[in-house]
Amino acid sequence: MKTPLLPLLASPIPLQCRICGERSARWPGLAVLALMAALTTSLAAATPSNQRTPTFAKDIVAATPAPALAVQATALVRGLKNPWSLAWLPNGDMLVTERGGTLRRISADFKLDPSPIRGVPAVKAAVQAGLFDVVPHPQYASNGWLYLAYAEPSPTDDSEYGTTLIRARLKDGRLVDQQKLLAMTPKSRRGFHLGGRIVFDGKGFLYLTLGDRGEMQRAQAPRDHAGAVIRLHDDGRVPADNPFIGNPDQLPEVFSRGNRNIQGAAMHPSTGELWTHEHGPQGGDELNIIRPGRNYGWPIITYGVNYVTGTKIGEATAREGMEQPLHVWTPSIGISGMAFYTSDAIPQWKGSLLVGGLSGQSLVRLVLDGERVAREERLLVGEVGRVRDVRVGPDGWVYLLNDSPDGALWRVKPR
């Protein structure tokens, strides 16, 4: 006998909690709807990411008339020379890298120590090259390890350089116990696209982002670090479960390929996956989730075009076996810095992804619906200059660094 569907969906079913005995009623219609929603979600999740259609910033920004929350930025520390990365120590003090090769300390009450930290290795500062991320180990309080990424010159010819990852301890205003964990090879004379972000995943692994060095074919070249994300143990050993172990065409420390220049990366607070963005050429800045062994396509696929001439790069915007971004910025905003906002300090922002714009001179807030970018807001446009780094402080406020010879540390709060 066929059961009529509508009466079934509309009739409550009495339920009793087996633990507390409380009686309630549930409408099966709601359960059916929830099941349908879950099926839709899981089908969407099962869609290969190379068949995903990214959202485009130009479409959703154009449709977004005003931010949900007005904010203001206050400069707390001025006089930072091209600051690149901001990190907190357990006592509330901050460390800031300056691209030229200096590491600065700022007290918890925002006083800049006039003496830079000594013992920073020799850094090649040229074009985009220099000192990049500084990140304390997740157990810094007990082990004291600080991780730094920088452009390291070749010992025999300092016109050749590449991104290097070290760790060291901070003692009496000096870096000591230095250990080199990875040096990008081969080095190059090109001053472009060196990546330089470091992220820990909370499971004992760290990720270092690199770039193509402005030599785009290297992002797909065999046994080349350029255009890759690197995955290591915290002491630099190569994890036995890295995706390319045993692949003669790939270096074992490589985790993903085809990334043009990643200068923003963060762990998703609930999925534990690595989210990154990368600079496109003219147009085509991308937001991606970095998964083991995947190819992110550069320069074979891209939504960007060649500078000035506007001519096509690569073969298309999509290809079987290569990842599609979640979100694309065209025109580019010169994307840099990334933080998931999980604090209660700004409830309206909880769950958002925050990124910075260098050429876009703004803080960008992305409202996420799972892996879909549902909304984009451009905040503080033109108010703080070229945003290089975006972090959430231990107090829950958002902090920015702006890239300028007279840069600053800014705190962002609701207006």
Torsion sign across C-alpha atoms 62, 66, 70, 74: positive
Structural contact between residues 43 and 387, judged by C-beta atoms closer than 8 angstroms: no
Smallest gap from residue 295 Cβ to Ca ion (A): 9
Smallest gap from residue 325 Cβ to Ca ion (A): 6
Residue 296 touches Ca ion, criterion: CB under 5 A: yes
Structural contact between residues 378 and 371, judged by C-beta atoms closer than 8 angstroms: no
Q: What angle do CA 177, 178, 183 make, to 5 degrees?
A: 160
Smallest gap from residue 296 Cβ to Ca ion (A): 4
Question: Contact letters (x/-) for Ca ion, 251-290, by CB under 5 A?
Answer: ----------------------------------------
Tell me the chain's radius of gyration from C-alpha atoms.
23
Chain position whose Cβ is nearest to Ca ion: 297
Q: Which part of the chain contacts Ca ion (CB under 5 A), choosing from 30-38, 266-274, 294-302, 358-366? A: 294-302
User: Which of 181, 338 has the CB closer to Ca ion?
Assistant: 338
Q: How many residues bind Ca ion (CB under 5 A)?
A: 2
* Separation in Å, CA 46 to CA 96, 204, 371: 41, 28, 12
> Which are the contacts of 414, defined by CB distance < 8 A and separation ≥ 6?
69, 70, 71, 72, 346
Smallest gap from residue 278 Cβ to Ca ion (A): 7
Residue 132 touches Ca ion, criterion: CB under 5 A: no
User: Which of 243, 297 has the CB closer to Ca ion?
Assistant: 297
Structural contact between residues 296 and 229, judged by C-beta atoms closer than 8 angstroms: no
Smallest gap from residue 286 Cβ to Ca ion (A): 5
User: Which of 273, 406 has the CB closer to Ca ion?
Assistant: 273
Lookup: tokens for 410: 């800014």
Q: What angle do CA 263, 268, 271 make, to 5 degrees?
A: 145
Torsion sign across C-alpha atoms 141, 209, 386, 160: positive
Structural contact between residues 366 and 67, judged by C-beta atoms closer than 8 angstroms: no
Q: Which of 154, 155, 150, 144 is nearest to 165 (CA)?
A: 150
- Site residues for Ca ion, window 350-369 (CB under 5 A)? none
H helix runs in 72-178, sequence order: 140-143
User: Which of 297, 360 has the CB closer to Ca ion?
Assistant: 297
Q: Which of 116, 114, 178, 117 is nearest to 152 (CA)?
A: 178
Q: Which part of the chain contacts Ca ion (CB under 5 A), choosing from 43-51, 167-175, 291-299, 401-409? A: 291-299
Q: Which of 292, 285, 289, 162 is nearest to 218 (CA)?
A: 162
User: Which of 133, 323 has the CB closer to Ca ion?
Assistant: 323
Identify the active-site residue in 137, 193, 233, 277. 193
Instruction: Determine the Cα–Cα distance for residues 335 and 287; give it in Å rounded to an integer.
Output: 10
Instruction: Determine the Cα–Cα distance for residues 373 and 325; give it in Å rounded to an integer.
Output: 11
Smallest gap from residue 107 Cβ to Ca ion (A): 41
Smallest gap from residue 220 Cβ to Ca ion (A): 12
Structural contact between residues 358 and 336, judged by C-beta atoms closer than 8 angstroms: yes
Q: Which part of the chain contacts Ca ion (CB under 5 A), choosing from 178-186, 292-300, 373-381, 397-405? A: 292-300
Q: Which of 366, 411, 372 is nearest to 61 (CA)?
A: 366
Q: Which part of the chain contacts Ca ion (CB under 5 A), choosing from 6-14, 296-304, 309-317, 328-336? A: 296-304
* Separation in Å, CA 28 to CA 6, 32, 35, 38, 42: 10, 6, 10, 15, 21
User: Which of 58, 137 has the CB closer to Ca ion?
Assistant: 58
User: Which of 258, 360 has the CB closer to Ca ion?
Assistant: 258
User: Which of 130, 297 has the CB closer to Ca ion?
Assistant: 297
Smallest gap from residue 298 Cβ to Ca ion (A): 5
- Site residues for Ca ion, window 183-242 (CB under 5 A)? none
327 part of the active site: no
| Amino acid at position 361, single letter | Q
One of 130, 280, 297, 304 touching Ca ion (CB under 5 A): 297
Query: What are the residues binding Ca ion (CB under 5 A)?
Result: 296-297
The catalytic site residues sit at 193
